[in-house]
Structure 1
Amino acid sequence: MRRRNTNNLNGSSNHRDKTATDRYNALRNKGAVTDDERLLSRPTQPLVSPNEPIPDELRQEEDHAFERALNFDYTMTDPWRVFRIMSEFVNGFDVLAHIPPSIAIFGSARTKLDDPSYAAATETARLLAQAGFGIITGGGPGIMEAANKGAQEGGNLSIGCNIELPFEQESNPYLDVSLDFRYFFVRKTLFVKYSNAFIIFPGGFGTMDELFEALTLIQTQKVSNFPIILYGSAYWGGLLDWIRSTMLDEGNISAKDLDLLRVSDDPQEICDLVCDTYQNNIRLERINRHRETSIR
């Protein structure tokens, strides 16, 4: 058997510079001290009797250092953060495992009560709830509140998956089931896993994120195809024109990818489309019980 030549042209070993690796190992295994030892012990400090008053600047610096030490939480380091992420998945799966077939409705948290989109979201959710679907939203104000309100008016389950934000996100008063999340990616996974359709009302960056997350997962066949319906042709028209005239023309998507999006200005039409697609998916599953449904 020929042995691979492991020497480079200069005759030295052909491997990457170990500087970064050594630095990582040194930091990770510094002093071979376990987390328990690091938590429960600290180096002893000599007693000092100052011969003169401590300057105010030094006193403030020591006070700040003491305050930081009191508030340091080793569970916030990256390896321990995994358990917090895991707990959000476990709790989310546990709470949502037995909800009825549900529809996710997204849109701006800034939509006001007198905005026509608010009334349309309420009516859309009410019709879907009466048709037998639960309603899942981000649990906040605006369009989310409107959809959760419509779910309760329609007599079905109203679910909110709230995200911790420094502003503008508080749970609305129309929730039967409420979950709180620190991590957007955990929350979005649950939206996809437990929703049979996405209805996207006018919104901002968060709404766009949820829209294109769903489109990407369906396009790449990571999840089974489910309806993505944009409410408000006037609002979404410019984006759709750009997708056709630029994204498609540049060859960055295919023509069939455009079929993943539907646009409607009519809550009843949206409800009918969701119901028809859901019934068709049930028929497909009866025909082929091994049909790929991915994480859903």
Structure 2
Amino acid sequence: MAPSKTPNPDKQRLLRGPVLVRKSGPQKSTTDQRLLDHQHNVDWLHTDPWRVLRIQSEFVDGFGALAELPLAVTVFGSARVKAEHKYYALGQEIGRKLVENGYAVITGGGPGLMEAPNRGASEAGGLSVGLGIELPHEQHLNDWVDLGLNFRYFFVRKTMFLKYSQGFVCLPGGFGTLDELFEALCMVQTGKITDYPIVLIGVEFWSGLVGWIKERLVAEGMIAESDMNLFMVTDSIDEAIAYILQHHDDIRNRGDQLPASSLVRGEQELDR
């Protein structure tokens, strides 16, 4: 498929938290960096308490926007993959098939393998959600997002992924995708979130990592052998969807609750 087109004026704009501004050169730092950097004076005594209010506002905005989100699956993946790449087509397909099976689709809202699932979901008539983040080299929310938020703080954004997703799909990606994958695995393993399905798409891409987990983490007792069952690896989108559906059926059979799966409710929220 042809790559999506971004209107030329938007190429000169960037997002700083929820604020859209004209680009005036690369940023020297981000809000996260300024919060976490070591400071050699006591100015933090006066500034950090006020930062708490900004952090609080991000949580309030996120909870308010996503509170009535229908049953949803988050798709993670690289921002660097171009629309002509085979992985992009996979991303579109997984977005489309998730919608066809009653799910909203959440991504990080950026380009590449975040845009692809958003595009697939949007083109299939489903709810396409993007949760962006302020970065030194800015990227705006992609054009296929129906409901979008842009966060200053990674930890707030991660909370939204975990709170409002009922499953996670990882397409090929870099450090950010690995961070999101292991965050989900850790939270499921430790019981911090319900045992939701986690799927890695791309056997060849993920095989080295999976092999290392078996040969090092399991073999040396760093994790239990049963922890390998917390995720599946496949090249088949249909197999991935079937795994997610079966996992959610198992959750319902145990008597646990999942959100209503009607996408109509999510669409109504967008119109309000």
> Which 4+ stretches in 1 moved above 4 angstroms?
73-76
Closer, same or farther: CA 115–78 of 1 in aligned 2, 3 Å: same
* Counterparts of 2:45 and 2:150, CA distance in 1: 19
Q: How does 1:1-296 map to 2 (within 5 A)?
A: 77-167=47-137, 169-285=139-255
Amino acid at match of 1:132: G
TM normalised by structure 2 equals 0.76
Pairwise CA distance, 1:118: 0.6
Structure 1 stretches of 5 or more lacking a match? 1-72, 290-296
TM normalised by structure 1 equals 0.70
Moved more, 166-175 or 137-146: 166-175
Amino acid at match of 1:198: F
**Helix, strand or coil for the counterpart of 1:217?**
helix
* Counterparts of 1:235 and 1:76, CA distance in 2: 47
**Helix, strand or coil for the counterpart of 1:110?**
coil
Asked if 2 retains the 8 angstrom alpha-carbon contact of 1:75 and 1:81, the reply is: no
**Helix, strand or coil for the counterpart of 1:285?**
coil
**Helix, strand or coil for the counterpart of 1:77?**
helix
Closer, same or farther: CA 242–105 of 1 in aligned 2, 3 Å: same
Pairwise CA distance, 1:169: 2.4
**Helix, strand or coil for the counterpart of 2:114?**
helix
* Counterparts of 1:75 and 1:271, CA distance in 2: 50
Asked if 2 retains the 8 angstrom alpha-carbon contact of 1:109 and 1:169, the reply is: no
* Counterparts of 2:209 and 2:244, CA distance in 1: 23
Percent of pairs identical after alignment? 48
Amino acid at match of 2:238: Q
* Counterparts of 1:271 and 1:219, CA distance in 2: 22
RMSD, aligned α-carbons: 1.9
Pairwise CA distance, 1:198: 0.4
The structure showing larger relative contact order (alpha-carbon pairs under 8 Å, at least 6 residues apart) is: 2
